[in-house]
Structure 1
Amino acid sequence: MVVHIPTWEDSSRVFENPFDTLWWFGERYHKKYGQKWPMEGQTPPEGYVYPSMEGIKLACVLAVVLTIARFTFERLIAEPIGRWFGLKHKLGGTPAGPNAKLEALIMKTKKPTSEQIAAAAKDADMEIREVEVWIRRKQRELMPSKLNKFKETLWRLCVYTFAYTYGMSVLWQEDFFWNTQLCWVGFPDLTWAIKKSLYYYYLLEGSFYLSLMVSQFMDTKRKDFWEMFIHHIATLSLIGGSWFGGCYKVGAIVMATHDISDVFLEAAKTSIYIKKNFWSNIFFGLFTITFFASRLVYLPFKVVFCSLVEGSAAVHNWPVHILYNSFLIVLQILHIYWFTFIVKLLIKIAAGSDVEKDDRSEDDTPPSSSAEEKKQN
């Protein structure tokens, strides 16, 4: 095996462009393990494409396009729909009013402790009850409105529905979707080329999750913010790694496995915001069933088994495969973690309550301060 020794021209190419840098390391990596890089003088079969940095660049461009499309959709379509259902931006109630010292406290922590409230009351020369009322009013002002949350959710519902519908229309015709052992036939020489239909599916999913990872910092913050951020990184790593590593067949099945439950989750949340409790319970029930079946049964016992066990004999400890399986396990751990939230909501429903909100939210409506206000008056 001949190992390429990097030259000065190679190193100058590495630092010119981050995309070229990644591609350069990919070439060196494959040559190190005796693999022929698919771009070296080969033409893909008709209807197929080889992995290339052009695809990564296109996914980044599409992520920007999707972000623009999202804000356009929210402004022109989702907001009028939300207002038609009676949702508003303003939460109402008496404004907190300006108070520099108390605002500094809220900037430090949105949920101050009783000790912090007492110290702030002393510093601001106010009664503790007055500070508590001001904090409740300020918390209400800082809360994202249900209209904003509705717009975010409706956008994700539309994209997940389209992605799952397109993905299944493509995978339904593939033999490897029904027999996962076929995912590794001819690896890696016969698995470099990816069908254009699956290539478009990869572009859609990759650009969407990339846009989600960026827009997450602008969306309604939830308790599992960093868990979701890790989920997006793991998902993007799986998408990119499976494409460049010749494992795109397993990658496509993983993407479709995740999309189905997300469709019902976003549908349930959309119904909650417009106060259609009957439909929110129905969609949440479907979400629970599909989440459990797809992510806690089918994914570990079929897809992960396919990648860990069936794939090991074909790839011979191919390092990309090891890294790919590591991210699959990370996703599985996150699924178990999120299922605990589902169980909590199931307990609420069993107790006779409707699904009123996502338990991951940090933006719970603060208790009404009307009683304290009456006491003050």
Structure 2
Amino acid sequence: MASYYRSFMDSFWSEYVWLPPNITWADIAPESSMEVQHADYRHLFYPLPMALFMLLLRYFLEKYWFAPIGVSLGIKNTRPKKAPHNPVLEKAYVKSKKWKHKDIQGLAKQTDMSERQVERWLRLRKGQNKPTILVKFCENAWRCLYYTFSFIYGITILWEKPWLWDINKCCIQSRGQETMFEKLKRVKSFVVRPKPSDEELDLSESSHLRRSVAINNAVIAKQKQLVAAQKGAGFNRQTSTSHESIYEDRDKAVLEQLRRINFGDSKAGARQEALQLYCQDGGDRTGFPHQSVTSDIWWYYMISMSFYWSLCVSQFFDVKRKDFWQMFVHHIAAILLMCFSWVVNVFRVGSLVLVVHDSADIFLEAAKMAKYAGYQKFCDAVFVILIVLWIVTRLGIYPFWIIKHTSIDAPKIVPMFPAYYIFNSLLILLLVLHCFWTYLLLRIAYNSVKAGQMDGDIRSSSDDYSEESKSQ
């Protein structure tokens, strides 16, 4: 039995499936390099106990913070009136919650009740298990708080990451994981050194030129070996050419600047330009998947995964909504995306996906809270912001920036592998869900314009609340 299990695991975690060509699991193991801190797959178990903590934190916040706030806003916590006990009707209700007119007529004869009394009993029976408006308010307040924290934290830690400003950096490695500020600081420290004598300057420039040319030649040789290995593994010729050309232009620029130094053109300025060009890539051609996971990205991933794990559990106890299964698929897809991106070191793209999604969810939950609290004008204003931000992020930035990179640009930079297509398919699945929810939002917006105010719940509206809104 153990041998079958081992054989299955070896087949499932095949390097051919999960890793780029010529990369092994040993190459991206956490202890495989002193310079690069690869993601550790064993850390994927951490979000499970963290999800339990998240559920406990939610319970205490809803009970001791959100509920008092809701009561102070005038939200009532009264429960609906219960239906009178009737064994015949209860048995029929357990069998089917939707009664046709013929069923109501038959039950009225069995119970010696009028059809109107049976309909009223059914309405009360459906309503007695409804959550109160205060419960719904607390649920939305919890999610609004989390999305606000997650977005602020995410945009803060990504602000200095190079791949936020140049998404191609998700595939191309930066030297030593330096931020732009660190690079400029290093360049500045080089430039402000005391000016040497002419003899020292000529000697240092000659030595610097020889050292830089040697490094550059070694890098070019390493790149040619990589391209040859990729071609030998059946790597697409067009992709290899594009990958090689990215660095070829930089090599020419560096050598040109070094030649200018040798010919005596504006020595200090040319040396600074050459250093800046060389620092842009650092001569480090490792790139994907050899990218370090910093502590801030680690926490961003762990907290996000723990939140979605907690949603997978709490969704079965929260208010039942119309898009229950769509939301469940969304949570599972989000967890799989984060797990896959963590295992194969595609966490840079994953971090961008997270921060893009969190921005609109803040206003989504805020609009629901305003609706439940009775602040209709504020709800309408937030809803307009939500519509604009939702379309910009979910149907604009997400497909035309992130998915465009993963589907079109990335294959020109790094060799593709089967797991990458799985990862990209999950990204497209999220886009399909976005289109579905956008349709719901636009339908609500259309109905709101006709009614003069936002009617019903938003996106994942519950059947119960929609019925309440119509009856008011």
- The TM-score bracket by the shorter chain reads 0.7 to 0.9
The match for 1:160 among 147, 154, 157 is 147
- Structure 1 residue 291 corresponds to structure 2 residue 397: no
Displacement of 1:315: 3.7
Verify the 8 A CA contact 2:18 2:417 in the aligned structure 1: no
- Structure 1 residue 314 corresponds to structure 2 residue 413: yes
What CA deviation, in whole Å up to 9, does each residue of 1:246-267 have, x standing for no partner?
A: 2111111111110000000000
Change (3 A) 1:343 1:31: closer
Displacement of 1:105: 2.9
The match for 1:39 among 12, 29, 37 is 29
- Structure 1 residue 98 corresponds to structure 2 residue 79: no
Displacement of 1:328: 0.8
Verify the 8 A CA contact 1:140 1:366 in the aligned structure 2: no
The match for 1:237 among 330, 336, 342 is 336
What CA deviation, in whole Å up to 9, does each residue of 1:154-194 have, x standing for no partner?
A: 00000000000000001111111111111111443423x31
- 2:467 and 2:404 mapped to 1: Cα distance? 46
Corresponding residue for residue 374 of structure 1 = none
Greater CA drift, 28-37 or 309-318: 28-37
Verify the 8 A CA contact 1:183 1:247 in the aligned structure 2: yes
Displacement of 1:67: 0.8
| Unmatched runs of 5 consecutive residues or more in structure 2 | 173-285
Corresponding residue for residue 52 of structure 2 = 64
- 2:153 and 2:348 mapped to 1: Cα distance? 15
- 1:72 and 1:22 mapped to 2: Cα distance? 44
- Structure 1 residue 188 corresponds to structure 2 residue 288: yes
Alignment of 1:345-364 (within 5 A): 345-358=444-457, 360-364=461-465
- 1:238 and 1:30 mapped to 2: Cα distance? 13
| Unmatched runs of 5 consecutive residues or more in structure 1 | 1-7, 16-20, 371-377
Corresponding residue for residue 202 of structure 1 = 301
- 1:148 and 1:173 mapped to 2: Cα distance? 39
Displacement of 1:86: 2.5
- 1:207 and 1:22 mapped to 2: Cα distance? 28
Q: Return the index of the structure with the highest Cα Rg.
A: 2
Corresponding residue for residue 253 of structure 2 = none
- 2:296 and 2:344 mapped to 1: Cα distance? 18
- 1:166 and 1:28 mapped to 2: Cα distance? 35
Displacement of 1:117: 2.0
The match for 2:70 among 67, 82, 87 is 82
- 2:7 and 2:378 mapped to 1: Cα distance? 54
Aligned residues between the structures: 353
What CA deviation, in whole Å up to 9, does each residue of 1:64-85 have, x standing for no partner?
A: 1101111111111111111222
Change (3 A) 1:365 1:262: closer
Corresponding residue for residue 336 of structure 1 = 435
Verify the 8 A CA contact 1:102 1:120 in the aligned structure 2: yes
Question: Normalising by the residue count of structure 2, what TM-score does the alignment of the two structures yield?
Answer: 0.69
Verify the 8 A CA contact 2:19 2:417 in the aligned structure 1: no
Corresponding residue for residue 61 of structure 2 = 73
Equivalent position SS for 1:101: helix
Question: Normalising by the residue count of structure 1, what TM-score does the alignment of the two structures yield?
Answer: 0.86
Equivalent position SS for 2:320: coil
Displacement of 1:49: 4.1
The match for 2:136 among 149, 156, 176 is 149
Displacement of 1:352: 4.3
CA RMSD of aligned residues (A): 2.7
* Partner AA of 1:63 in structure 2: A
Greater CA drift, 326-335 or 106-115: 106-115
| Percent pairwise identity | 30
Displacement of 1:32: 9.8
Corresponding residue for residue 159 of structure 2 = 172
